[in-house]
Amino acid sequence: MKKDITIKDIAQKLGIHHATVSRALKGSKKVKEETRNRILEEVRNMGYTPNLLAQNFRNGRTNIISFIIPDLKHHFFSRLISCITELAREKGVLVMIFQSNDNPEVERDIIQLLISMRVAGVAASVGLRTQTTTHFNLLAEENIPLVFFDRVPQSTLLPTITLDNHKAMKQVVAELVLRGKKRIAYISYHGYTTIFSDRLNAYRDAIHESGLDFEKVVEAEQIFIADGYKAASCLFQDRDTPDAIICINDEVAIGVLRFLKEKRISVPDEVSVVGFDDNPMGLVCEPELATFSQSIELLSHTLLDLLLHAIEYQENEKQDIVLPLTLELRDSL
């Protein structure tokens, strides 16, 4: 039987202390970049994976990890789960998926269930109606590692994976200015997680840095097509109307396109429209919706690795990982 590769094997091969290998795999800044790169290369060469099953057997836990998702019908979450369950299977880890329906009460019930099941670790994207995340502290009390991703609480001392909204917003504003747009508005949402506040702050920073005088924000009631339509109607009540609209997500942007089409406002000649999330519905719009996409594969690998490392080392220290977004230049821009 093939011997499992351990951290000590990697350390011995490289002639360094096993604690250095452990710190490097946890992303510690105390390890020099050159050393970390050597370690990661050797990890790949030797085929090392965390021995989650053995670790959890010692701790009296299962080899099951769980994901708490707001809405499985959303294309982003469904694609993510499909990818991550396959990756977990390859590592011999079982995945359980729970849907919160954006309801904090459901989140609390799920957490209680997961504690009773003695799961190894949890990854969660917080629901739209979750104003406080104190119920997630129950996991910490039971020493169950937790990673937040995508919809992340405003303040947390736990590992998080978010998106580079500031770089994305700066890029799209620069692109719109390059195309002659000078009155760029933003449709936001008041949600309690960082993704909403980050995008709003990123918009304001990008407008300021571009030197534009026009800054206009309308807050959508929710983040669906009907809300985008309603928000667009508010933007066009004043005489000082926008010539470009950036939206919190693609569903809101599709609602904006519907409003503009109804009012016979040409897109993108008179008004450009941009969304976020790369929803497949945007490809069947007329014109096709410009948007920001992210690599589901990169997110899946990053999220699973971060959670498995937290489980193996029983450390759940704060670590903020920011992943890139890609601007999809389509006809609505």
Note the pLDDT tens digit of each residue in 168-209: 999 999 999 999 999 999 999 998 889 999 999 999 999 999
Name the band, by pLDDT with cuts 50, 70 and 90, for residue 54. Answer: low
- State how far the Cα of 218 lies from the Cα of 228, in Å rounded to an integer: 10
* pLDDT value for 56: 54
The per-residue pLDDT for 286 is 95
As a CATH number, domain 58-161+295-323 is: 3.40.50.2300
For residue 63, the model assigns a pLDDT of 82
Residues 245-272, mean pLDDT to the nearest whole number: 98
Looking at residues 66-81, what average pLDDT do you find?
93
Give the pLDDT of residue 61.
65
Q: What is the predicted pLDDT for the residue at 47?
A: 77
Q: What is the per-residue pLDDT for 41?
A: 87
Q: Where are the alpha helices (DSSP H) in 47-127?
A: 52-59, 75-90, 104-117
Give, in degrees to the nearest 5, the angle at Cα 120 between 118 and 122: 105
Is residue 152 within 8 A of residue 126, CB to CB? The reply is yes
The residue ranges of every structural domain in the chain are: 7-46, 58-161+295-323, 165-293
Which of 263, 279, 283 has its CA nearest to residue 271? 263
Residue with tokens 């992943």: 323
Do 165-293 and 58-161+295-323 have the same topology in CATH? yes
CATH, range 165-293: 3.40.50.2300
pLDDT average, residue stretch 232-255:
96
> Is the predicted pLDDT of residue 219 greater than 60, yes or no?
yes
Residue (of 130, 101, 55) closest to 310 by Cα position: 55
pLDDT confidence of residue 46: 84
